[in-house]
Amino acid sequence: MASLRRVLTLRFGVINCARTIRPLFSERLRTPAVLSTVLFTSLPPPPPVIELQYRYGRPVLQLMLPSRGEACRFAIRPMTMTVADFLSDVQREDPGVSSTSILTSDGQKVSSATLLDSVLGKNFQLVINDTTYSVISGPSDEVCHDHLTGLEDVKAVVHMLYSALHLPEHQRLKERQLLERLDALTQEIQPLEKVRAGLEARAEADARRYVWGGLAYMALQGGFMGWLTWCVFSWDVMEPVTYFITFTWSMGLLAYFILTQCQQVHSPTETVSAANQEFMYADAKDRHFLTSLHRAAAKEGFSITHYNNLKKEIGTVEYDLHRLRNPISLQLPVEQLQR
């Protein structure tokens, strides 16, 4: 009886201890579950992920159309398609797409004129309406380097063929346009050339009279001073007179230097600056020639500015013709270039 009493006492003690531990253990189990539920509901849902695939060497992007609710594959031409072309294809396929854009992985918007070749090299984001898709660029092993090199070679050959077929025709068209323009300018400037030749002849005659008049004045002045010195007065009287005459000439030359300061004279072919001219005989003659020419042109109603513009335009057209007829531009063989 004593042993039976000990066994019952021990069993009831174990049961009571277990009832005491069970609530603590259950509380410990509930706490992580509650925390995990709170943490899970606070995080935003991850964006849908789309993987870029390659079919027959061409990238293919499979999208879920929002209004139709079905998947659609879009074949991409990276070398020729831009971002705007791809987005317009998506909107054309599903009229329910109101706004589309492509962003980089860090959220920066990609320009619509960017080629898709530069976009597909890295992961990017595609925004359709209010849904943002994370696009993962798949492995591009199927597009080998030899294929791209061959494509570049084909493009170069096509460019050479296009140049060979269309460049001579373009050159002939451009040459005909330049010749027509040159003929029109030549016909327009021919009557002006006749008027300019007459004005230059009159201005040249006036400049010669100016030079010969200066020589005659100096000769008369020297003769008159000699007559006064030897026939009328003595050298003692004429010496201070000659000194003042020389000083007067020096003042006249200084006045010429001051009067020609900050002046520009426009010739029929160029603009000559006459700022601070020294009294050199050739420069003084040229300046008098140009002054007479402008004075005569103003009387005749001849526009020197219009004439100069026509001459410059004719020079530009002739230079363009010379460049167009250059053997290098005509793509002649090496033997003709060496000649």
Place of tokens 């050739």: 282
Query: Alpha-carbon distance 297 to 201, whole Å?
Result: 12
pLDDT at 223: 92
pLDDT digits (tens, 9 = 90+) for 145-159: 555 556 667 777 777
Tokens at 98, concatenated = 């109101």
Q: 114 and 202 in one domain?
A: no
| Number of other residues whose CB lies within 10 A of the CB of residue 51 | 11
Res. 327 pLDDT band, cuts 50 70 90: low
SS3 296: helix
Residue 3 lies inside a defined structural domain of this protein: no
Residue 66 lies inside a defined structural domain of this protein: yes
Query: Alpha-carbon distance 52 to 70, whole Å?
Result: 18
Say whether pLDDT at 26 is over 60: no
Residue 195 lies inside a defined structural domain of this protein: yes
Furthest-apart CA atoms within the chain: distance in Å: 187
Q: 128 and 69 in one domain?
A: yes
Do the bridges between strand 131-136 and strand 49-51 make them parallel or antiparallel, or are there none, so unpaired?
A: parallel
pLDDT digits (tens, 9 = 90+) for 155-189: 777 776 766 666 677 778 888 888 999 999 999 99
Element (H, E) at 254: helix 235-259
Span 191-205, average pLDDT: 89
Helices (H), 69-144: 83-93, 116-119
pLDDT at 312: 93
Q: 204 and 326 in one domain?
A: yes
pLDDT digits (tens, 9 = 90+) for 249-297: 889 888 877 877 655 545 544 444 444 555 577 777 888 888 888 888 8
Query: Alpha-carbon distance 153 to 159, whole Å?
Result: 10
Residue 17 lies inside a defined structural domain of this protein: no
Among residues 89, 119, 136, which one ends one of the domains?
136
Amino acid identity, position 24: L
Instruction: Count up the domains in the chain and report the number.
Output: 2
Tokens at 284, concatenated = 């003084």
Percentage of the chain exceeding pLDDT 70 = 70
pLDDT at 25: 37
For the chain, the straight-line distance linking the first and the last C-alpha, in angstroms and rounded, comes to 138
Instruction: Provide φ and ψ at 134, rounded to 5°.
Output: -95, 110
Tokens at 119, concatenated = 């976009």
pLDDT at 336: 44
Question: By residue range, what is the domain housing residue 83?
Answer: 49-136
Q: Whole-model pTM? A: 0.41
Query: Alpha-carbon distance 151 to 259, whole Å?
Result: 73
Q: 222 and 294 in one domain?
A: yes
Which of 171 and 87 is assigned the larger pLDDT?
87
Q: Please name the residues in contact with 143: beta carbons below 8 A apart, sequence gap of 6 or more.
A: 54, 57
Residue 230 region by backbone torsions, left for phi larger than 0, else alpha for psi between -120 and 50, else beta = alpha
* CATH code assigned at 58: 3.10.20
pLDDT at 34: 40
Say whether pLDDT at 201 is over 70: yes
Res. 93 pLDDT band, cuts 50 70 90: confident
Place of tokens 């597009």: 143
pLDDT at 279: 59
Q: 187 and 100 in one domain?
A: no
Query: Alpha-carbon distance 97 to 94, whole Å?
Result: 6
Which of 262 and 214 is assigned the larger pLDDT?
214
Average pLDDT over the chain, rounded to an integer: 75
Q: 206 and 108 in one domain?
A: no
Span 102-127, average pLDDT: 86
Res. 309 pLDDT band, cuts 50 70 90: very high
Span 116-135, average pLDDT: 85
Q: 315 and 194 in one domain?
A: yes
